[in-house]
Amino acid sequence: MSTRPSRIFSLTEQTLRNSSSFPPTRNLSSSAVSMFHSRTKAINHTLPRLFRHFIEYKPSQQYHTFRPRRPTTESRREPPHRSTSRLRKRIPFLADLKSVQDPDDALSLFNQYQQMGFKHDYPSYSALVYKLARSRNFEAVETLLDYLQNINIRCRETLFIALIQHYGKSQMPEKAVELFQRMPSFNCHRTLVSFNTLLNVLVENDRFLDAIGIFDRSTKMGFRRNSISFNIIIKGWLGKGEWDKAWQVFEEMIDKEVKPTVVTFNSLIGFLCGKGDLDGAMGLLEDMIQKRHRPNAVTYALLMEGLCSLGKYKEAKKMMFDMDYQGCKPRLLNFGVLMSDLGRRGRIDDSKTLLLEMKRRRFKPDVVTYNILINHLCKEGRALEAYKVLVEMQVGGCEPNAATYRMMVDGFCQVEDFEGGLKVLSAMLMCGHCPRLESFCDLVVGLLKNGKIDGACFVLEEMEKRKMRFHLEAWEALVKDACPGDRGAGGLVRELVSAYG
């Protein structure tokens, strides 16, 4: 037997051993080994380079050493006297920290500055805490907070508000509550802003009973609830479908002489529209106007969505043009409601016409508006048209976001234009965005199927940089494509995987 098939088998076995999903537990059966050797001839031209990128890929440098610049005589000079009071003093550590992405590198940079004799103060500590929290390194965050507490550095409320929000985004509401309770120990005065932030985190993390408890104890805690506090609880009840409970909170709000805001009415109107109760929603709109609360573009957008959900597109469009006479100018949001409804009903060409009408009325479409059109074009299998829209938006000065690129990559994969998908992926990565794991896998499988080995290896290298691994379905697709007509190929992959599972 030639050495190349043996090399492929050893690479495959090593790949499975190296994958974090398949820790080795037992050896392969001899039958599985012989089955694999009998099939390697069909895979020789496709998989060796693929496996090599998974097994032999080595980062050029595992750790990056930062050498912070020592402040020069020039940098220590004060700016002209006329602007001294307005210009902030430049802090070298903060400038260097902005360019660091990895949290471990951020900590290393912090320590290096400290070893150089740089005295860190609140701005340095808070910037590092923000960096660590964004990367979800909460263990380091809490260690740093303990240190701040011990050295008695006074922290601002904004730091804790940001951390409470990060805990909320990471589904760690209990940590948010704990931090809120610790705030006074940092010599930080809690205000209604941090109270409302915690309230919102609890509601969004389905800890509604805890939110109600804190809301009811607000007076004892020294907080006088405002419209934002009531709006959060109303939103929570509506999210649970409890209209009566939400209305009771609204009435309590009136009794406590807390003035409702447009957000309050929009929450109630949006709920009724979602339930198809347009009469009730319109009644609330009239009540809102009578009480001298001006509806905004969001109010009308919610009503327009309600009309569209009942198949009343013409009435929704009429409402958009009539709102101008009510003293509320239409916004891109309102056009987006109409475009989304047209796209859902397959009237994409009408949606494109509406986009042109927007431009004639001197509305400059934003990325959300373009994404609506691109999304529906891709879903209809019209990826090339969607790509033209992408180019058009860039020419017009509107930068695509991560969602734009993801839809385009998936759109090209859907129509099996994998080279087009690779082109978009390259632009996406250059802009600092990243597609879903499924999109990466689809691209690799499609490129290999079309003989684009270099393109597939490029995608695999980008996956490796982001520590993203192929899943079982992708491996099966690759092996089945490399072994056409061999019905046992998929079963072989499953046996290889189970042997290391």
- pLDDT-derived band at 498 (thresholds 50, 70, 90) equals low
Instruction: Please give the angle made by the CA atoms of 422, 426 and 428, to the nearest 5 degrees.
Output: 110
Radius of gyration of the chain, Cα coordinates, nearest whole angstrom: 29
Residues 279-286 have a mean pLDDT of 95
Q: Check: CB of residue 320 under 8 Å from CB of residue 301.
A: no
Q: What are phi and psi of 37, to 5 degrees?
A: -60, -35
Q: 325-335 pLDDT, tens per residue?
A: 888 999 999 99
Give the dihedral sign, CA 389/391/392/397.
positive
Task: Label residue 472 exposed, middle or buried (CB < 10 Å: 0-12, 13-18, 19+).
Answer: middle
pLDDT of 192 reads 96
Place of tokens 């319109």: 282
Residues 237 and 251: their CA atoms lie apart, in Å, by 14
Residues 444 and 437: their CA atoms lie apart, in Å, by 11
Average confidence score pLDDT of the chain: 81
23 pLDDT above the threshold of 60: no
Which of 126 and 228 is assigned the larger pLDDT?
228
Residues 201 and 475: their CA atoms lie apart, in Å, by 40
71 pLDDT above the threshold of 70: no
- pLDDT-derived band at 68 (thresholds 50, 70, 90) equals very low
State which amino acid sits at residue 198: L
112, 114, 116, 122: CA torsion to nearest 10: 120
74 pLDDT above the threshold of 60: no
Q: Which residues contact 501 (CB under 8 A, 6 or more apart)?
A: 21, 22, 23, 25
Name which of 154-163, 419-428, 457-466, 488-497 the model is least confident about: 488-497
- pLDDT-derived band at 90 (thresholds 50, 70, 90) equals low
Q: Check: CB of residue 309 under 8 Å from CB of residue 301.
A: no
pLDDT of 330 reads 93
Alpha helices (runs of H) in 310-417, residue ranges in sequence order: 313-322, 332-344, 348-360, 367-379, 383-395, 402-414
Residues 395 and 380: their CA atoms lie apart, in Å, by 24
490 pLDDT above the threshold of 70: no
Which of 161 and 450 is assigned the larger pLDDT?
161
66 pLDDT above the threshold of 50: no
Which of 369 and 450 is assigned the larger pLDDT?
369
Element (H, E) at 139: helix 138-150
389 pLDDT above the threshold of 50: yes
pLDDT of 488 reads 54
pLDDT of 286 reads 93
81 pLDDT above the threshold of 60: no
2 pLDDT above the threshold of 90: no
- pLDDT-derived band at 395 (thresholds 50, 70, 90) equals very high
Give the dihedral sign, CA 228/230/234/236.
positive
Q: Check: CB of residue 5 under 8 Å from CB of residue 38.
A: no
pLDDT of 493 reads 53
3-state DSSP assignment of residue 360 = helix
Residues 285 and 320: their CA atoms lie apart, in Å, by 15
pTM: 0.73
Place of tokens 């709920």: 271
Name which of 93-107, 162-176, 348-362, 384-398 the model is least confident about: 93-107
C-alpha neighbours within 13 Å on the C-beta side of residue 254: 8
Which of 54 and 445 is assigned the larger pLDDT?
445
Residues 463-487 have a mean pLDDT of 70
Written as six digits, the tokens of 326 are: 């009510």
Q: Which residues contact 372 (CB under 8 A, 6 or more apart)?
A: 336, 339, 340, 343, 351
The pLDDT > 90 percentage for the chain reads 54
Q: Which of 222, 227, 170 is nearest to 201 (CA)?
A: 170
pLDDT of 116 reads 76
Q: 166-213 pLDDT, tens per residue?
A: 999 999 999 999 999 999 999 899 999 999 999 999 999 999 999 999
